């Protein structure tokens, strides 16, 4: 069994820093246009037929592609089950200063809440 390269996950962090502005802008548009109160950004490295392409992986952009989606689409596609929607909404609201990411990799899929601004990272670093 092949182990996923740690470099790929370090690249994810690097790409996220580079993509943060575009994802913040997409989040604001989705909220302003009432597309969803629960935007989700899908980070992936394979073909994906879900959400709206926001950033496609390339030599110039990075290793990871990003699609903009929503809780509503995740429910329709049975990724988040109807009986877990209320729980998901509570968790989402607790992270109002974060971007909700759904990261697809060789290790599976997981939700991650990533700080919307670099300053938040610094705040967490000072919690000693």
For the stretch 75-93, pLDDT in tens is: 999 999 999 999 999 999 9
CB atoms within 10 A of CB 89: 14
What's the full length of the chain, in residues?
128
pTM: 0.83
Contact 95, 120 (CB under 8 A): no
Reported as a single tens digit per residue, the pLDDT across 95-121 is 989 999 999 988 789 999 999 886 544
């Amino acid at each position: 069994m092949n182990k996923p390269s740690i470099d790929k996950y370090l690249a994810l962090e690097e790409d996220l820093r580079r993509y943060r502005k575009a994802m913040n802008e997409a989040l604001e548009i989705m909220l302003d246009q009432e597309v969803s109160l629960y935007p989700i950004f899908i980070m992936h490295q394979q073909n994906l037929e879900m959400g709206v392409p926001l950033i496609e992986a390339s030599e110039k952009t990075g290793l990871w592609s990003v699609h903009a989606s929503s809780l509503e689409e995740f429910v329709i596609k049975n990724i988040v089950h109807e009986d877990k929607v209320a729980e998901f909404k509570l968790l989402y609201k607790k992270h109002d200063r974060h971007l909700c990411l759904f990261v697809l990799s060789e290790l599976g899929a997981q939700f991650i809440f990533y700080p919307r601004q670099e300053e938040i990272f610094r705040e967490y670093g000072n919690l000693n």
